[in-house]
Amino acid sequence: MYLACLRVGAAFVPLNTAYTSAEVEYFLGDADPKVAVGVAGGVSLAELTHDRPESARPRADLQQSELAALLYTSGTTGRSKGAMLTRANLATNALVLAQEWRFSERDVLLHALPIFHVHGLFVAINTVLASGSSMLFLPKFDADEVVRLLPEATVMMGVPTFYTRLLQHPAFTRERCASIRLFVSGSAPLLAETHREFRARTGHAILERYGMSETLMNTSNPYDGERVPGSVGPSLPGVEVRIADPESGVPLPAAGSVGMIEVRGPNVCRGYWRMPEKTAAEFRQDGFFITGDVGRFDGNGYLFIVGRAKDLIISGGYNVYPVEVETELDALTGVAESAVIGVPHPDFGEGVTAVIVARAGATLDETALRAALEQRLANYKLPKRIVFVSEMPRNAMGKVQKAQLREHYRDLYNPARDKH
Given 247, 281, 308, the domain boundary residue is 308
Q: Are residues 272 and 338 in the same domain?
A: no
Q: Are residues 18 and 131 in the same domain?
A: yes
User: Per DSSP, what are the bridge partners of residue 345?
Assistant: 349
What pLDDT shows up at residue 398? Answer: 57
Q: Are residues 7 and 97 in the same domain?
A: yes
Average model confidence (pLDDT) across the chain: 91
C-alpha neighbours within 13 Å on the C-beta side of residue 283: 19
Given 262, 277, 308, the domain boundary residue is 308
pLDDT digits (tens, 9 = 90+) for 367-385: 999 999 998 999 999 999 9
Given 308, 329, 350, the domain boundary residue is 308
What pLDDT shows up at residue 58? Answer: 82
Residue type present at position 142: D
Residue 176 near residue 153 (C-beta atoms within 8 A): no
Q: Are residues 12 and 126 in the same domain?
A: yes
Please report, for the domain that includes residue 76, its CATH number.
3.40.50.12780
Better-scored residue on pLDDT, 192 or 14? 14
Q: Are residues 361 and 212 in the same domain?
A: no
What pLDDT shows up at residue 53? Answer: 63
Which stretch of 230-239, 246-255, 396-405 has the lowest confidence by average pLDDT? 396-405
Q: Are residues 78 and 146 in the same domain?
A: yes
Q: Are residues 294 and 336 in the same domain?
A: no
Number of domains observed in the structure of the chain = 2
Tell me which residue range forms the domain holding 375: 313-419
What pLDDT shows up at residue 59? Answer: 85
Please report, for the domain that includes residue 317, its CATH number.
3.30.300.30
Q: Are residues 119 and 208 in the same domain?
A: yes
pLDDT digits (tens, 9 = 90+) for 160-209: 889 989 999 999 999 999 999 999 999 877 878 789 999 999 999 999 99
pLDDT digits (tens, 9 = 90+) for 108-143: 999 999 999 899 999 999 999 999 999 999 999 999
DSSP string, 179-243: T--EEEE-SSPPPHHHHHHHHHHHS---EEEEEETTTEEEEE--SSS---TT--BSBPTT-EEEE
Q: Are residues 37 and 175 in the same domain?
A: yes
Q: Residue 51 pLDDT > 80, yes or no?
A: no
What is the 8-class DSSP label of residue 53?
Answer: G
Q: Are residues 182 and 119 in the same domain?
A: yes
pLDDT digits (tens, 9 = 90+) for 244-278: 998 889 999 989 898 899 999 999 999 999 999 99
Q: Are residues 293 and 320 in the same domain?
A: no
Q: Residue 310 pLDDT > 90, yes or no?
A: no
Q: Are residues 53 and 97 in the same domain?
A: yes
